[in-house]
Chain A
Amino acid sequence: MTVLRKDLLLELRTFETVPAMILFSIVTFVIFHFGLNQATIDGQLAGGVLTVTLLFAAMLGVNRLFVAEREQGGFDAFLLAPVDRSAMLIAKASALFAFLVVLEVVAVPAFGLLLLGPSLGPPLLGLIAVLALADVALAVIGTLVSAIAVNTRARDLVGPVIGLPLLIPALIATARAAAPLLAVHGSGAPPGKWVAVLALYDLVFALLAYAVFDFLLED
């Protein structure tokens, strides 16, 4: 809990990671606009563009997640503290989750404004549910991968290279679940199959990360 408070406080004081993620995602929307050469997009394409942008923006946050701990000896301090090691996973994943939520609060309306053809209003509730599940996946895998990568030599390379393949199933499920929500005559509810896949993915990797995370801190 303290680690989480510390991370959020650090972010509030320095404004380092989240603004960069937001800026990155907005720039990416502009890039997609020119790359696809389309004024508005909808349906599967919109779902894909939104998901991919959020995924890459999340990678920025993942790379930064443990850097301060490593540079300033936070790991040692944490290991000396009389708390369960999994607390670090929970705190870091929660911090990343919070970063992602803030990112989406800005990036999704920006997406609606800049690129999306149909209105964001009707499918908003469904979209929030899908993105929340996707954020859990990003936060859990991101924390695990970041913890692995931070102690390697080329850590900014190792993180995304391991993280992206691991996140492909989550990417598939999120893009598919968001597609009908963003379609021109879309339904207000996300397809149950993909929400279920996403939830299953979250559950499996949350348990797995909880099981293996201890070994990454043992020094």
Chain B
Amino acid sequence: MTYGRGLRGLSLATAATISLALGLVFFYAPLDADQGFVQKIFYIHVPLAIVSLCGFILGGLLAIGYLRTGERQWDVRSYVAIHMSLIFGIAGLITGSIWAKASWGHWWVWNEPTLVSFLIVLLLYATYQPLRFAIEDPERQSRYASVFAVTAGAFVPLNFIAVRLAQQYVHPRILTLSGGNLPGSMRLTFLVSLLGIALLFVTLWKYELAAKNTRAQIRALRRSLLGEESVRPLGRSAAPS
């Protein structure tokens, strides 16, 4: 299984898209009449949040692959997707907090469903790695983690429905079915940023998979060339290998 294929082109495309997005954010998109310069964080924050939620759901779908086939590759893919989404999600939460402080005056706003549901989702996924770490047998670890990933993946949309119903919203609805109320230039900038962050996610995901895969291959090669003793046994780990 080679994850390295096409990685260079993908990396270049990601770098180009993100540069383009930043250029658009700072030089093309108009200043928000109401919030001024701070509003530009929106072009980073919202894509981060959307990509991390999609990453969580992707992790659930990949985990279905593991449960169906029992091949460890699928579990590794799911693991990397979820842990990458966690990083993106925390970044999204921090940028969101900064934006909230700047535009609403508070670091945290409870009557904001998107923020609250996002926090709940993050709290749930924060237990993913401790759960893996608490199971010693690698095969069982993969199986239980996959069950968790599938359940949590289904939980993401349901949670958003429940929390949204619970509160009056003050968050701007960006992606409504009617296309939202963004002016054209802002929407273009936003979409380019979204694409950039999504590409970044895919690139990092592939890099980590390639790294994990290479490490496993090197271990296998060492073992066959130098004998069983030359390879130290893996310690207990939350990460599949």
Residues of chain A at the chain B interface (Cβ within 8 Å):
144, 148, 151-155, 158, 161-162, 165-166, 168-169, 172-173, 176, 193-194, 197, 200-201, 204-205, 208-209, 211-212, 215-216, 218-219
Contacts and interface: CB of A to CB of B under 8 A. Distances in A.
A161 B155 CA distance: 15
Kindly state the interface size class of chain B when it binds its partner: 20 to 34
B151 A172 contact: no
Given A152-B135, A162-B131, A172 B163 contact: yes
B123 interface: yes
Given A151-B135, A158-B131, A173-B162, A165 B124 contact: yes
Contacts of B150: 208, 211-212
Given A208-B151, A215-B143, A158 B127 contact: yes
A165 B140 CA distance: 23
B67 interface: yes
A169 B161 CA distance: 9
Contact of A197 (B127, B144, B165): B165
21 contacts: A144-B151, A152-B131, A152-B135, A153-B135, A154-B134, A162-B124, A162-B127, A162-B131, A165-B123, A166-B151, A169-B158, A169-B159, A169-B163, A173-B162, A197-B162, A204-B158, A209-B151, A211-B150, A212-B147, A215-B67, A216-B143
Given A153-B136, A162-B131, A215 B151 contact: no
B136 to A, nearest CB: 7
Interface of B: 67, 120-121, 123-124, 127, 130-131, 134-136, 140, 143-144, 146-148, 150-152, 154-155, 158-159, 161-163, 165-166
B121 to A, nearest CB: 8
Contacts of B148: 148, 162
Contacts of A155: 134
A193 B165 contact: yes
Nearest to A164: B123
Contacts of B135: 151-153
A201 B159 CA distance: 9
Given A152-B135, A216-B144, A201 B127 contact: no
A148 B149 CA distance: 12
Contacts of B163: 169, 172
B143 to A, nearest CB: 5
Closest 7 CB pairs of A and B: A169-B162, A152-B134, A165-B124, A153-B134, A212-B147, A165-B123, A162-B127
Given A204-B154, A212-B151, 5 more contacts: A152-B144, A158-B127, A173-B162, A201-B158, A218-B143
A208 B67 CA distance: 13
A165 B151 CA distance: 12
A103 B143 CA distance: 33
B139 to A, nearest CB: 9
A128 B146 CA distance: 35
Contacts of A166: 124, 151-152, 155
Nearest to A152: B134
